Amino acid sequence: MKYENMSKEILSIIKKENIADVFYCVTRLRIVVKNKEEIDQEALAKINGILQVKQVGNQFQLVIGSHVKDVYNDFCEVAGFSNDDSGEQQVVANEDTQKESLGTRFLSTLSGIFLPLLPILIAGGMLKSFVIILLLFNTELVDSGVVTVLNSIGDAPFYFLPFMVGYTTAKRFKINEMYGLMIAGVLLSPTFMGAAGDTIDFILFNIPAQNYASSVVPVILSVILFSYAFRFIDSIMPKAIKIVFSGFLTFLIVMPILLFIVAPFGYYLGESFSQAIVWLFETTGPIAGALTGGLMSFIIITGMHQALQPLMIVNYASLGYDFLMPGFFVNNIAVAGATLGAAFKIKDPDNKAAAFSGGGLGLLGITEPALYSVDIEYRTPLIGIVAGGAAGGFLYMLFGVKSYGYAMPGIFSLPTYIGEGNNLIFMIISLVVAFVVAFLVSFVLTKDKSVATKA
C-alpha cells in the first residue's frame, strides 16, 4: 500500500475507536469523530502528504489532493473498515456526532448524499460534451446510431438521478438502500408521471401528481422521513415478523403522507431554489458573477462549496443549464493564474515546484493543492485570485454565459459550454481575462520574503 505509513500516522492521532464516519470528496479525506477534544490538529497538519487540516464541528477535513481516493482506500484497509469504494464509510452511529451544530450536520448530510454521485455526473456531462464535439466535425451523425447510443449513456445519470439520490440518501440515514430506490420508483411511476398536474383520489384526500423526474428534493425529504418512521416501526416490531411487516407497514402508513404533503412540498422547494438562483443572476448579472468568481476560493477553503453542489445538480436536471458552474470555472482558472504568477517569483525550489504543480492542477479544476500549499502561505496570490476571478466573473455574466453540462470545472469541461450563440467564445474570453489578471497581480505583488512561517 502506497499510503500505508500515512494512514498509520493518521490513526495514531485519530484513534480507530474514536472514528464515527469516514468519506472523501475531490481532494479531502473527511473523518467524523466521536470526541473532537482528543484530536491534536497541529500534529495532523504535520503529517507528510496532508496539505491542510480544517475542522468543522466533529468533522476533520484532511486536504490531500487529487489522489485522495487512493489514500481513502489504504486508510480503510489499515483501519480495518470495510470499503465499498463509494466514497463513504459509515463506521458507527454515536450520540456525540448528533450534538454537532445544525449547519455542520446539514453540510455533512449533503456531502454524504451528493459526493458519491459526482463521478457518474461528471462522466455523463463529459459524454454529452463528446457528442457535441462529434457533431461539430460531422453534422450528418445527428441521426446516427452512434449519437443515439452515446446520448443515451450521457443522459442516464440525469434521467435516473432521483433513483441514485434515493439510494445515497437511504445509505446516509442508515436504512436499506433498496427502500430509497423503491421510494424513488413510486414518485417516478408511470401512474404519477402520466397524471402530472392532476390529482389522484385516495380515501379522504386527493394526492397531487407531479413530474418528479427533474427534481431530487422530493426524494431526499421522502427518504429522510421514511427512515425515521421505519426505524420506529422496526423497533416495536417482534423479531420474528420484522422482515415481513416493518417495511410493509411503513410504506402502507407513511407513503401516502409522503405523496400528499412531503413530495409536493419538496418539488416546489426545489423549483423555488432553481428559480431564485436564475432570478438572482439575471437581476444582478455581472455583480453576482464577480462575487461568485472572486470569492469562490474562500468558500472552498471553508468547505462550504459542498452546499452549492445540490443547487447546481437541480439546475441541470430541471433547467438544462446552470449559472454557478461558470463561476467555479473562472475562479479555478484565476487560482491557476495567480499560483503560476507567484511561481515565477518564488525562489525556494520546493515551494516553486509546488506552485507550478498547483497551478497546473488548477487549470484542470483542482485548486486545493494550490490554495493550501502556496496561495495561503504567500498570501499575495489570494489578491490575484480575487481580482482575476472577479474580472472573469463580471464578464461571463455580462455575456450571459451558461454551463450546459456537469463536469469538473477545468479546461477539459469547455465543451459543456457549447450552446446558443457565442456562449463558448464568451466563456473562453472570460477565462483568459481571469487568468491574465490573476497572473499579473500575483506576479507583481508576490515577493519570496512574504511567505508566512510554516508551522
Catalytic positions, written as ranges: 25
Helix (H, G, I), strand (E, B) or coil at 425: helix
End-to-end CA distance of the chain: 28
The 10 Å CB-count burial string (b at 16+, else e) for 377-406 is bbebbbbbbbbbbbbbbbbbbebbbbbbbb
Give the HSE-up count for residue 107: Cα atoms under 13 Å, Cβ half-sphere: 23
Among the residues of 4-117, which ranges form H helices? Answer: 4-13, 41-45, 68-79, 95-98, 102-114
Distance of CA 77 to the CA centre of its chain: 25
- What element of type H or E holds 56? strand 52-56
Give DSSP secondary structure letters for 262-323: IHHHHHHHHHHHHHHHHHHHHHHTHHHHHHHHHHHHHHHHHTGGGGGHHHHHHHHHHTS-BS
Are 308 and 115 a contacting pair, CB within 8 Å? no
CB neighbour list of residue 53: distance below 8 Å, 6 or more residues apart:
41, 44, 45, 60, 61, 62, 63
Are 310 and 110 a contacting pair, CB within 8 Å? yes
- Strands 199-202, 205-208: pairing is antiparallel
Cα separation of 408 and 406, whole Å? 7
